[in-house]
Amino acid sequence: MEDKVVLIAGGTGGIGSATARLLARAGAKIVLAARNREKADAIAREINESGGEAWAVDLDVTDVSSVYKMTDTVAKELGQIDVLVNAFGTGMIQGIMDVDPEKARKVLEVNTFGTVVVTQAVLRHMIAKKSGKVVMFPGILGKHVMRNSSIYSASKFAVTGFTKALVEETRRQNIGYTLLYLGGVATDFWENPDVDMKVQADKMLSAEEVAKAVYYAVSQPAPNVLNEMVIQPDSHQLV
């Protein structure tokens, strides 16, 4: 990972920040793209003070101009984008009759439309140099469904289908795609009032363990690609 430019969209979340710290220790140059610029700056500062290299940039995944401005700035300043980690997202676990349609629109806008736009913007640069790796987090609910997951699963199944189609579309550009189907991860995802579930964080995956999976995926030597991986805590298995 030495000197690889890693763009983490959603770099201030639990998985994004844990991934940033781990890949920075492996020698990668980290770009933390997020709406919460203050938090992104703090994480970048922590990485830099620990001997790594990191930058923070503004990003609103639902704003096309914001996305394209961010990716063009990163490519211009650092010369390339070797790895994209789409670590952003918002949740909704509610029965369909309890769902506020406008909140459902927001979930789809962030999780699905946001993923499409950010990936499209980065792929312009990867396709031009015919190399790159993209990591997606459809989560286990982008592979299997559970009760009250209709809206969230819809947004994440879309990410899965989008990614699988991109494999075919960019097959000759040497771009590797990884889909990580994660079970419950102990992050602030569960603090969302629209996630109506009682959970036990101590029985979930840790963000640090997920970061190790990301590292394994993006550090595969060419031409190897880790396409799919399922990781779940034993108490949350969906098979």
pLDDT mean over 226-238: 86
User: Per-residue confidence at 208, pLDDT binned at 50, 70, 90?
Assistant: very high
Q: Right CATH number for 5-236 from 1.10.287.1080, 3.90.1300.10, 3.40.50.2000, 3.40.50.720?
A: 3.40.50.720
* Residue-level pLDDT at 202: 78
pLDDT digits (tens, 9 = 90+) for 42-66: 999 999 999 999 999 999 999 999 9
CB 174 within 8 A of CB 130: yes
Give pLDDT tens digits for 66-123. 999 999 999 999 999 999 999 999 999 999 999 999 999 999 999 999 999 999 999 9
Closest CA to 210 of 181, 237, 190: 181
- Which residues lie below 8 Å from residue 91, measured CB to CB, with a gap of 6+? 107, 152, 189, 190, 192, 194, 195
Return d(Cα 180, Cα 103) in angstroms, integer.
25
Domain residue limits, the chain:
5-236
Length of the chain: 239
Contact 137, 15 (CB under 8 A): yes
- Count how many Cα atoms sit within 13 Å of the Cα of residue 54 in the half-sphere of its side chain: 30
Q: What is the pTM of this model?
A: 0.94
**pLDDT number for residue 121:** 97
pLDDT digits (tens, 9 = 90+) for 148-203: 999 999 999 999 999 999 999 999 999 999 999 998 887 777 777 878 777 777 78
